Structure 1
């Protein structure tokens, strides 16, 4: 018995020596980080409730100088938040492959544009880029303004203490469906839309739990948990909704062809070269054999999620900032007065282009509250980051939230100061110090769409209402989710202007 015990002890010691002192580990141990524990490294440090994850990461960002590590064999991570390192990772295609962490959401998003790589990513990006051409955005703008008008009418009937988050979520879901997907939500589909939104929130929480529990990285273990069955349930809800959106649009296009009953018209409707909405381009590509229905589904799943959830979070935090900074809100209102006067007409794209101060507010809000608060890439070869050699096979987490709050990059970094984005105040700022839409070749394809949508919505709101704070920025608790969101409601008073 003693002999067996001795063998076990010696085996554990040798295993510890191997996982701690192998070649990659020796390189990684030179990177600052919390002290390792026997066998398990320091990965238990991230074993915290999801609502404490962002605070924990920010604490490490203050403790370490731009880079730190997590290591629990065989999982290797470095977290970076200085612009020089961020540029190395994002500026080219060398490190364009996503971290294995994104595999956790593949049952939902499969290999759409967010998760695909190599030739498949390049092909899909080429197919979809025309959907965000300026001429198409101008067409989208009409629908955005209609939905913005509906948003202001919704605000007419909110309670005195209103949670802005579900209001903005409804707006962005309706907008993405009607613009990019060409499908207007009816009363019936709106109910399904509610289930869709709730399912997205639940999935975000499920994936957050998997991100922070290293033992759940192993598929075999994860598949034995209740989270796996929950995930399947809510992925089915989400994909049923998006499949219905696809089918509705397909029927609509087929009806147009039947009405025209002309081959030339069919070519026009399903012509991949013709500037068309996002889903129309995908269906055209399917019609031309460039993509199958599963490919259409994964891209729609990706863009329905990214196109409504991130923008909803951005608008909610923008409203929080304006409600808590009456001076900035007043400047936005005065800008609206200078553009529209007493007119109640809807905004044009030229009007949106004149909203310079509102744009500063949006940029500053996205700095403080970037909806995509981290990016994770796989390092397929060794690379020098902050003068440390990071071995191939390491996962690199770009902490956008903490990058944006560095005092050496943004003076009084935790304060809301829109003027910091004036051209004269941006001189000399590192181009990778501000990346709310990522950067480089894999940047967000829909960033102009998102900026137009945020301008359209918030300009309509501020023209008609004054936002008065109830929730303060210091009250906000962040969910350790795929998207930066508040755990609690964001309350404010919405007061109609005379």
Structure 2
């Protein structure tokens, strides 16, 4: 009778308020299965459960967000969690957000949690089943095959290429002494040239397709970021109807055709080599990345599509990520004159313009490497890493339902004040050997960790050292951009809305 007295509209309001109240604790209008504790204790004793902005759990929290607002949203969520890991509940799956090294350790070291999460599916049309996305036996066999391509001897052979590209780069910088240098314009070309010549054996600047390829890669990532920021765009049918699907397909054709053409040319050259050549030390010849893949193809271990997947993956992971680190490192050196001076003094110990310089000598640039690592800590090129539970599993004392998404927020893990006091200050000394002895082994993970760590991290560090040493030897850096002027964006790679600029002062020859 009271229902009749209230009337249907009033009843709906009452039901709505009741659902809203219940949803504060149970998210009953989200279809995700619940996370629970293994020992039966309250979930909140192990993780912060973040309430959604609506009664639909967290499903609508990031609707139509921009990359900048996604960055801010994640940082605000971390702040609300007050140093704890936290849960979001989306339509069909929870997301476990990890911001502490202690809990990240179990995930990084797990032999089961190696499948990437749903965000990586958006990259699959570009990268296919390359090392970044593939899993199980395919990943294991590819990783094993490619590991020798980053052996010390191979890196030593890359030094000549790095130096040649650095000489070109210094000439470009000499033409920009009168004004501000836009790092976002000049650094990516340097890193892409390095990747192509070392991994593919092709000078990109010598090919007319080079500029178009670079533009296509950036266009692909822009669309990927648009899809990440709009939950509806995760559905291919919605992306086809309402997104930049045709533009995306066009750019995918450009990069895939480019890679296929280069691989085919390289394959013809490779067939002329004598496979299994033994050098003067009686050891089997080591090949760079593409040569290694072609050798595997000759033995029937990989096909053309697989080679394309790995080439695209390495270029995507190694080109933009290295560019990002170099841009931020050059900015921080410009902003911190004392750090720059100490790095310059260390670089003076390198032989100048010598073809005999070895990887060992670059390894001795300890403080310069500290400066690079501190830039990576503050501004990790990849701000998050994703995993997925392919079956129900226990993670950090919690029972995660099948399809639970896991997001390891690298940006927040490496700004934890428990491991890095005054985390917003640039202090390369943190990474001197004597200062890292008691640090948690998973507090600094810019290259991921565990069995799925970055296969090219030594390659990247060496490449960056060679460039930074050349720049510091020739120029003094002055800031033209301040950190407070930058708007950070959370994409596949950490970005800023504004281009980062520095000023260059030519060093005297006698310095």
Common fold: TM-score over 0.5? yes
Which residue, 431, 452, 457 being the options, matches 1:442?
A: 452
Higher helix share: 1
1:228-279 Cα shifts (integer Å, max 9, x gaps): 222212211221222222123123324x34xxxxxxx35549xx96310100
Does residue 383 of the first structure (1) align with residue 394 of the second (2)? yes
Q: What pairs up with 1:26-105 in 2 under 5 angstroms?
A: 27=36, 30=44, 31-36=47-52, 40-47=56-63, 48-64=65-81, 65-105=83-123
| Counterpart Cα distance in 1 of 2:35 and 2:476 | 57
Which residue, 309, 312, 321 being the options, matches 1:310?
A: 321
Matching residue of 1:486? 496
Matching residue of 2:156? 138
- The answer to whether the 8 A contact 1:32-1:67 is kept is yes
Shift of 1:378: 0.2
- The answer to whether the 8 A contact 2:31-2:91 is kept is no
Matching residue of 1:261? none
| Counterpart Cα distance in 2 of 1:200 and 1:185 | 14
Matching residue of 1:217? 234
| Counterpart Cα distance in 2 of 1:26 and 1:133 | 43
Shift of 1:134: 0.9
| Counterpart Cα distance in 1 of 2:429 and 2:35 | 45
1:429-460 Cα shifts (integer Å, max 9, x gaps): 11111100000001000011001101111001
| Counterpart Cα distance in 2 of 1:426 and 1:208 | 35
1:99-143 Cα shifts (integer Å, max 9, x gaps): 122111111001001000000100111111110111111111121
Shift of 1:221: 1.8
| Counterpart Cα distance in 2 of 1:164 and 1:384 | 42
Q: What is the aligned-residue RMSD (CA, Å)?
A: 2.9
Which residue, 349, 354, 366 being the options, matches 1:345?
A: 354
Give the direction of change, closer, same or farther, for the CA distance of 1:220–1:337 in structure 2 (3 Å limit).
same
Shift of 1:193: 2.1
Which residue, 253, 259, 262 being the options, matches 1:242?
A: 259
Give the direction of change, closer, same or farther, for the CA distance of 1:10–1:222 in structure 2 (3 Å limit).
farther
- The answer to whether the 8 A contact 2:31-2:90 is kept is no
Shift of 1:21: 8.3
Give the direction of change, closer, same or farther, for the CA distance of 1:353–1:13 in structure 2 (3 Å limit).
closer
Q: How many residues align?
A: 482
- The answer to whether the 8 A contact 2:52-2:61 is kept is no
- The answer to whether the 8 A contact 1:383-1:392 is kept is no
Q: Secondary structure at the match of 1:78?
A: strand
Does residue 462 of the first structure (1) align with residue 472 of the second (2)? yes
| Counterpart Cα distance in 1 of 2:410 and 2:402 | 22
- The answer to whether the 8 A contact 2:27-2:57 is kept is no
Q: Secondary structure at the match of 1:42?
A: coil
Give the direction of change, closer, same or farther, for the CA distance of 1:236–1:123 in structure 2 (3 Å limit).
same
1:194-252 Cα shifts (integer Å, max 9, x gaps): 22222222222211222222222222222212322222122112212222221231233
| Counterpart Cα distance in 1 of 2:507 and 2:414 | 34
- The answer to whether the 8 A contact 1:147-1:174 is kept is yes
Give the direction of change, closer, same or farther, for the CA distance of 1:253–1:186 in structure 2 (3 Å limit).
farther
Structure 1 residue ranges (4+ consecutive) displaced by more than 6 angstroms after TM superposition: 9-18
- Could you tell me the TM-score, scaled by structure 2's length? 0.88
Does residue 167 of the first structure (1) align with residue 183 of the second (2)? no
Give the direction of change, closer, same or farther, for the CA distance of 1:87–1:26 in structure 2 (3 Å limit).
closer
1:55-81 Cα shifts (integer Å, max 9, x gaps): 221121122133122212213212111
Q: What pairs up with 1:350-365 in 2 under 5 angstroms?
A: 350-365=360-375
Matching residue of 1:325? 336
Shift of 1:19: 4.3
More deviation in 204-213 or 93-102? 204-213
Which residue, 300, 309, 319 being the options, matches 1:298?
A: 309
Does residue 198 of the first structure (1) align with residue 208 of the second (2)? no
Matching residue of 1:336? 347
- Could you tell me the TM-score, scaled by structure 1's length? 0.90
Matching residue of 1:260? none
Matching residue of 1:229? 246
Matching residue of 2:40? none
- The answer to whether the 8 A contact 2:346-2:367 is kept is yes
| Counterpart Cα distance in 1 of 2:330 and 2:156 | 25
Q: Secondary structure at the match of 1:393?
A: coil
| Counterpart Cα distance in 1 of 2:101 and 2:253 | 39
Q: What pairs up with 1:402-413 in 2 under 5 angstroms?
A: 402-413=412-423
Does residue 473 of the first structure (1) align with residue 483 of the second (2)? yes
